[in-house]
């Protein structure tokens, strides 16, 4: 089914300002359909003036539909629906005397010209299924009167009001509806509206009272209502606002009604959002608790790392010191992830920052015989915490393995290799970390410019603890693949490739 923009662009001469006006109308015309108990169809004038194209359609939630099928994109030539022709040509609301019959259903038709400035740019056809019509109640009379007022405002080019920002919590007609006169006195309140105010503590009826005064008393502010709230409750401003007291929270929207340039009252729609706001507060509390847990886990891991460093300084055996130093790095990589989670509002991690901090940590604690530079290219993106934690450990192990074995490896206490001809100089190296994100996959490479892998190297047969951890995490926990080999560009060094599934 084509969109309003498609129909306007392909079949009319309406400009962008006209289309913006119609988009604004269509975004808010569910209210008119519900108040009218009728289907609405927006008809756009043909480029050559031969008829009208259906640009948008809306069914009511308060009554039976007059259109079982979608008609957007259909064309009606001039002369077939004379009410459309009359409304567009004369610029006034036109009503049908006798109903039309569609599939054995009587339908009353009314056409409403849509004006922008001095021009009629479209026509709304209001189609009421008369099978559902009965003796109107007080609610239906109030709804229909409000619909008539809005239709006149559309014809005058007043409604919809520009500048309103409709939210997901914006109330609909069925949520609660109040009608006030030009003095702010309530002339009608739907049962749902009355129930919402009763929940706030109202013990009397709303009809016949001044809405601003009643609301002020329920908010325990008496008649001292601020100007913004007063403008909404008296219907002077087209605004949305939220009010609450200890018993309930209501979301209000005011639609000022005007006739002949004069303010004649307002339609105030309201919705009880007490449970919604309560759930939001629970979620905020839950998120704060989760963040605090991550913060405490990070602090505990840092404490563990500090204890391991203290123990390492007390051990005189070099192998024991090296083992504890490796444990400190592994704990530190996990702590980085939890620190990042403690700063976010969900269980997702911007892993680019984590990767940079892990690389910096590895470079800073590399041996004194090796000066290592790390670089990152590409983007990891946002990862779930269950992926981020093991991946951080994998990168720590791989980069640390490059530091220990690829650059200036020690042999009998002397540095292998020379820098500037001095065998005792500090060796240097470069570790490049790259990431490429595709649909459902993350491709990671860790490349160094060191001395390369030993002959007949097999990562599965290697007794290195770090490589065992990497294999376990990548294959077993992340369900990915792992490949060791020489650099693909032919230069000296080693390249490790990871490919893991990730959520988009």
Question: Per residue in 63-114, pLDDT tens?
Answer: 899 988 999 999 999 999 999 999 999 999 999 778 888 878 899 999 999 9
The answer to pTM > 0.85 is no
Exposed e or buried b per residue across 42-61, where buried means at least 16 C-beta atoms within 10 angstroms of its C-beta: bbbbbeeeebbbbbbbbbbe
**pLDDT tens-digit readout, 454-485:** 877 777 766 677 788 888 888 888 899 999 88
pLDDT at 359: 83
Calculate the dihedral angle through the C-alpha atoms of 463, 362, 314, 412, rounding to the nearest 10 degrees: 60
Angle subtended by helix axes 16-26 and 4-11, to nearest 10: 150
pLDDT band at 418 (very low <50, low <70, confident <90, very high): very low
pLDDT band at 392 (very low <50, low <70, confident <90, very high): confident
Question: Strands, E, within 260-381: which ranges?
Answer: 262-272, 348-350, 370-378
pLDDT band at 333 (very low <50, low <70, confident <90, very high): confident
């Amino acid at each position: 089914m084509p969109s309003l923009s498609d129909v306007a662009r392909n079949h009319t001469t309406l400009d962008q300002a006209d289309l913006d006006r119609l988009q604004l109308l269509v975004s808010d015309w569910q209210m008119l359909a519900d108040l009218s108990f009728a289907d609405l169809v927006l008809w756009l004038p043909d480029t050559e003036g031969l008829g009208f194209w259906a640009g948008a359609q809306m069914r009511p939630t308060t009554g039976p539909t007059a259109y079982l099928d979608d008609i957007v994109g259909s064309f009606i030539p001039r002369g077939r629906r004379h009410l459309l022709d009359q409304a567009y040509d004369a610029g006034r609301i036109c009503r049908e005397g006798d109903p039309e019959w569609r599939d054995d259903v009587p339908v009353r038709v009314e056409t409403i010209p849509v004006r922008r400035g001095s021009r009629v740019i479209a026509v709304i056809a209001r189609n009421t299924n008369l099978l559902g019509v009965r003796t109107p109640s007080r609610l239906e009379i109030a709804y229909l009167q409000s619909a008539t007022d809005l239709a006149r405002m559309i014809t005058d080019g007043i409604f919809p009001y520009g500048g309103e920002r409709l939210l997901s919590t914006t109330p609909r007609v069925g949520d609660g509806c109040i009608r006030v006169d030009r003095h702010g006195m309530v002339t009608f309140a739907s049962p749902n509206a009355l129930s919402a105010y009763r929940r706030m503590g109202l013990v009397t009826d709303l009809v016949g009272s001044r809405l601003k005064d009643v609301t002020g008393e329920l908010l325990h502010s008496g008649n001292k209502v601020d100007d913004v709230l007063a403008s909404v409750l008296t219907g002077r401003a087209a605004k949305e606002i939220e009010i609450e007291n200890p018993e309930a929270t209501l979301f209000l929207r005011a639609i000022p009604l005007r006739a002949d340039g004069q303010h004649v009252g307002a339609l105030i729609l309201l919705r009880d959002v007490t449970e919604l706001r309560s759930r939001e507060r629970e979620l905020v509390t839950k998120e704060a608790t989760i963040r605090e847990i991550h913060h405490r886990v990070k602090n505990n891991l840092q404490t563990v790392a500090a204890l391991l460093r203290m123990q390492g300084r007390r051990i005189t055996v070099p192998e024991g010191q090296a083992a504890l130093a490796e444990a400190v790095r592994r704990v530190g990589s996990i702590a980085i992830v939890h620190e990042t989670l403690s700063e976010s509002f969900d269980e997702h991690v911007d892993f680019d920052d984590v990767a940079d901090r892990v690389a910096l940590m590895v470079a800073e604690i590399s041996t004194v015989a090796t000066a290592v530079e790390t670089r990152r290219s590409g983007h990891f993106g946002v990862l779930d915490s269950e992926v981020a934690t093991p991946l951080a450990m994998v990168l720590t192990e791989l980069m640390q393995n490059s530091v220990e074995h690829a650059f200036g490896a020690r042999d009998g206490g002397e540095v292998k290799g020379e820098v500037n001809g001095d065998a005792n100089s500090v060796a240097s190296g470069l570790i490049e970390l790259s990431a490429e994100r595709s649909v459902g996959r993350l491709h990671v490479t860790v490349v160094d410019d060191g001395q390369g892998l030993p002959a007949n190297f097999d990562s599965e047969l290697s007794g290195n603890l770090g490589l065992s951890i990497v294999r376990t995490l990548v294959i077993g926990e992340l369900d990915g693949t792992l490949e060791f080999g020489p650099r693909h560009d032919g230069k000296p060094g080693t390249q490790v490739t990871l490919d893991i599934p990730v959520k988009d």
